[in-house]
Amino acid sequence: MAIPIIKNSIFTVILLFCTLFNVAIAKDPNQYFNNEIIVRTVTNLKTTADVDRLVSLCQQYRIATVAVAFKQDEDDEIPSGYVFYPSSIAPVAAGYAKFDILQYLIAAAHAKKINIKAWIPKFHDQVAYKKNASWRMMVYRDGKTVPFAENNSEYFVNPLHPDVQKYELAIIKEIVTRYNIDGVVLDWIRFNGYNMDLSDTTRQHYKKEFGYDPLTIDFTTENSKRIQWNHYRMDGIASYIQRVKKTIRAIKPALTLDAFVLSPAWKELAQDPRRFAGSIDSISPMCYYDDWNYPVEWIYGKRSDAILPLIRQKVPHKDIIPVFDTNWDPQIYKQIFTNLHNIHTIGWFHYGKWTSREIRRISSYTDLDE
């Protein structure tokens, strides 16, 4: 009977020590998280000094992975669709043609055992939008179809157009061939509402397959035709992601594929993870609850539209990497982390420049050794 008493005594001492010095004991190993940061190249990486600083901070604060933009995502500093490497396909952003800063980043990061994912936004692409008028996402509004360019700042191209897919796949192939990356993460692989894409190309294909013009659908209510239409678009998105997988695996079989996604509850986006689960290795739900004025429970709770439970239901056997903003109250993160299950990695998005303050903060939220 002496041995169990000694074990219990030792455990009591350890527990007391951890309580006094605020060291966390995790009953579940999944409470320990790897950190992955998402880096906008246009804001963060212009010189080798920028790269050296970022890599040094990542090493210091044990950032496991950097997902870095190889292609511009927004229409702010520069138009979406510009790339940050010497491409022979897409136009190169000013300052990135002569010196390959992404190649430098990969070498520097790998020297410190930090993984690099190529973050490649897809169908939000002003360059492609202006390259060919027939590629534009068309939306039905006020009795007519018009290009979707919301507020002259959201330029979408048609995810279903064969030539759009060919163009976007060529960029992926160029990146995967040229760079020793550890993975690819896709973004903007969706529509923005039920009433798009209604271009002539899509309408002709749809009418040939289903026997009616999608313009006859009532997009404002739930009905059998709208459901059929949305399934068609969901299948189109899933088929494209499958093509991405085949493209990258033909070049580098060990390369991982991830995707940034919004909530499956927003069916109008036609982004159904269940349909492309077989093509991805992990999935990264964008959990920006405050962007949509939701309570934090929307991330993990029992609500019918809670994003992480819905994603888990859709892809039960895939790694989920939830993506959070960096500027929430520390108590919010504590509340979220207490309610996370079977999560191994946290993704962090910061729109501006990653500083030591930002990286130190996210590390303190997830590093239970500190």
Q: Name residue 39's amino acid.
A: V
Fold that domain 32-366 belongs to in CATH: TIM Barrel (3.20.20)
Q: What angle do CA 71, 76, 79 make, to 5 degrees?
A: 50
Q: Which residues pair with 345 in a beta bridge?
A: 34
Half-sphere exposure (Cβ direction) of 33: Cα atoms closer than 13 Å: 28
pLDDT tens by residue, the chain, 370 residues: 332 333 344 333 333 433 333 333 233 444 569 999 999 999 999 999 999 999 999 999 999 999 999 999 999 999 999 999 999 999 999 999 999 999 999 999 999 999 999 999 999 999 999 999 999 999 998 889 999 977 667 899 999 999 999 999 999 999 999 999 999 999 999 999 999 999 999 999 999 999 999 999 999 999 999 999 999 999 999 999 999 999 999 999 999 999 999 999 999 999 999 999 999 999 999 999 999 999 999 999 999 999 999 999 999 999 999 999 999 999 999 999 999 999 999 999 999 999 999 999 999 888 644 4
For the chain, the domains span: 32-366
pTM of the model: 0.90
Q: What angle do CA 220, 288, 363 make, to 5 degrees?
A: 165
Any idea what DSSP says for residue 28? S
CA dihedral 235, 239, 245, 250 (to 10 degrees): 160
Please give the Cα distance from 75 to 86 (Å, whole number): 20
Q: Which residues pair with 289 in a beta bridge?
A: none
CB neighbours of residue 205 within 10 Å = 17
Contact 311, 264 (CB under 8 A): yes
Q: Which helix (H) or strand (E) holds 139?
A: strand 138-141
Please give the Cα distance from 55 to 151 (Å, whole number): 37
Entry field: residues in the chain:
370
Contact 190, 262 (CB under 8 A): yes
DSSP 260-274: EE--TT-GGG---HH
Supply the pLDDT for residue 365.
87
